[in-house]
Structure 1
Amino acid sequence: MLASASTTVWPTSSTAQLGGYSAAVSALTGMSPASPEARLIEVYRAIGRGNRRRALALAEALTRSVPNFQLGQLVYGDLLLASAGPRHGFGAIPRGLDASGAEMGDLREEARRRLAALRELPPPGAVPQQVLELALNTRHVVAVDASHSRVYVFEHRDGQLHLLRSHYASIGRAGFGKSTEGDLRTPLGVYYITSRLDDSQLDELYGVGALPLNYPNEHDRRLGKTGSGIWLHGVPRASYSRSPYATEGCVALANDDMGALLSILEPRRTPVIIAEEIHWVQPQTLANRRNEFRELLQRWSRARAQADLKTVMAFYSPQFRSGSTDFRQWGQAKARELATAGRRFLILKDLSILAWKRESEVTLMTFAELRQGDIRGPVKRQYWARERGEWKIFFEGVIG
């Protein structure tokens, strides 16, 4: 059975509210006015205004230019049914569509989430609460709101984050909160893009390309989480998008949206925050936490510059581990390092501070380190966790 008046794919309450939305809303989401999602929203907006004729014309144009956009096809079919009247039965549905009851439910949910994105835009100037500070050479931040099927892409310029793009996305079939290999869930946490894969390196399942993430990160490993192969990626070209819960744990975007991300996001430097829900805050509210971690890092740096091994090691957790190196072995390595380097002033630059709080409270600090007199130095990443009321480093590694 195909779509009927009882299986409409536009949520009527949401659609009615769209009549008063201005065209500027699409710009605020970061969508191009020519994108299929923006065009679909224009269809909904026309429906909300009661202008079914315009809605039908817009929907027909959308399905002609993006025939694999199943949600667009079903909306068009519903509009045809509403226009044709009961004597035409179900024959008005575009030929070739086959939507089961479950698929119709998925399409209705996709429609609801796409429309909800207009009402759930971040307030002007707001940032994800996880972003305490970004290095100048970090050009973008990605925030994935898993419970709302939304990916936000921010540009970092002039010391501020600016919303650049916003896209619908699909996550794991079993939802989010990954903990074990094969659980079909999307992980939650702060990750980094590790590489870029184009379509010549991938199966058709992944569409135009992929951006692998560093899941499991060091916090995940500490919690005993398993699994691998978590990517941002496209979709098979036979379809425009996937239902809200359709992947094996990855985050899947329409190919044109994924193509835009592939063109701008830099591996190794771009953080990807995946949260059950993104909480938006104004940057000035993060000042106290940002200053707390800057001070911690400066104290750690001063102790190293003074070759004070006891003070240096007091910053590390007894449960510290970096690869196969435990706390005792790390202390031995630090003793050798400080004996060799002596007392030399340390310069820390390109600092990024990202915070995470779910199972426990964790902060990632990434920075470049130069000793006085050196031309270049390593880029390091530290994971800090609160233990018995104090912040301790439980992982440190060189990433560049």
Structure 2
Amino acid sequence: MITRRPQGALLAASLVLTGCGGGAAAVSERPPSSERPPAATTVQPAPTVSLDLAPQQLPGLGPKTWAQVPDDARQAVVVTGRGKDSSRSSVVLYERTDAGWEAGETWPAHNALRGWTGDHHAGDLRSPVGVFGLTDAGGRLGDPGTRLPYDHGSGFTATGTGFEGEPLAGSFDYVIAINYNRRPGTSPLDWTRPLGAGRGGGIWLHVDHGGPTHGCVSLAEEHMKELLRALDPARRPVVVMGDADSLAR
């Protein structure tokens, strides 16, 4: 496990928050076999075979979205928003097997206050739609057992309140950086923005604080820890995120 020290200052909260009974047979007297009529032949129907195979393509994705999923991806975190302008979504971790994609539990989540966009910019209060790599993690609390590189430190301290007045404390106890406008292979705290600062950044999966985010996707702490323990860089994990209509294109 690679553990990195924090790099750079905490991303400002305004940019980051973004599961027959049977009785005894009766005994009867039977005539000799020579006096018995021939037994009727009963043909038993062939058993029905049910093939419950995992889908070969991630459910809910249209051709445009599916084409963005790398061929070598064997794990996919699918975030499906309730609507274009909704801050509510659901998250499912899919694992690719020889039989196809197998789904885990569905977890409730929050996304950005104003919903989703295919053209994310800093301050638009929408989460970016797309398919992005998941390569780096970190948090204020210690590594819960992830195989991703994990940056542990006080730089992940969150303060203030959210859009509904809820405290943000603990939101960054566990985070997974979403590779939107960032440099993969660095701490989630890295400020590098390859597309420029105007396109936003600091888009994470992080602990839910009970309300909408600035652009991130937030999950209950127990689900964040479960996700961190499940993700394996050798399986090339990605996140597929957006409102249901956008993902279906």
Give the TM-score of the pair, scaled to structure 1: 0.33
- Distance in structure 1 (CA, Å) of the matches to 2:140 and 2:58: 32
Distance 1:279 1:154, change over 3 A: farther
Distance 1:224 1:159 in 2: 42
Aligned to 1:258: 224
| Aligned position for 2:203 | 230
Q: 1:181 to 1:271 in 2, by over 3 A?
A: same
In the alignment, which of 193, 206, 211 is matched to residue 176 of structure 2? 211
Give the deviation of 1:225 after TM superposition: 6.1
Number of aligned residues: 152
Query: Residues 135, 124 of structure 1: CA spacing in aligned structure 2 closer, same or farther, 3 A cutoff?
Result: closer
**Matches of 1:152 and 1:223 in 2, distance apart?**
31
Matched, 1:157 2:122: no
Change (3 A) 1:155 1:271: same
Which among 183, 191, 195 is matched to residue 136 of structure 2? 195
Residue identity opposite 1:146 in structure 2: G
Task: Give the alignment's TM-score, normalised by structure 2.
Answer: 0.51
Q: Cα distance, 1:278 vs. partner? A: 6.2
Please, which runs of 5 or more residues in structure 2 have no aligned partner? Answer: 1-18, 20-52, 83-87, 142-152, 158-168, 184-192
Q: 1:185 to 1:223 in 2, by over 3 A?
A: same
**Unaligned runs of at least 5 residues, structure 1:** 1-30, 32-122, 237-241, 282-356, 358-400
Q: Indicate the residue corresponding to 1:144 in structure 2.
A: 79
Determine which structure has the larger helix proportion and give its number: 1
Q: Is residue 2:139 matched to residue 1:166?
A: no
Relative to 1, partners in 2 of residues 1:223 and 1:210: Cα closer, same or farther, differing over 3 Å?
closer
What residue is the counterpart of 1:10 in the other structure? none
What CA distance in whole angstroms lies between the structure 1 residues aligned with 2:54 and 2:97? 16
Q: Percent identity?
A: 26
Structure of greater Rg: 2
Q: Give the CA deviation at 1:127.
A: 1.7
- Structure 2 distance, partners of 1:226, 1:189, is 14
- 2:238 maps to 271
1:217 to partner: Cα distance: 7.2
Contact 1:142 1:273 in 2 (8 A): yes
Write out per-residue CA displacement over residues 117-154 of structure 1, whole angstroms, 9 at most, x where no aligned residue.
xxxxxx96362433357555x33111111235111210
Aligned pairs (5 A) from 1:249-398: 249-267=215-233, 269-277=236-244
The aligned counterpart of 1:131 is 66
Cα 1:153–1:190, aligned 2, differ >3 Å: closer, same or farther? same
Query: CA RMSD of the aligned region, Å?
Result: 3.4
Question: Does 1 or 2 have the higher relative contact order (CA < 8 Å, sep 6+)?
Answer: 2
**CA apart distance, 1:266:** 3.1
Deviations 1:167-216, CA, capped at 9 Å, x for gaps: 10001112221522122211111111130113333224425401001112
Structure 2 SS opposite 1:252: strand
Instruction: Assess, with a 3 A threshold, how the Cα gap between structure 1 residues 216 and 263 changes in structure 2: closer, same or farther.
Output: same
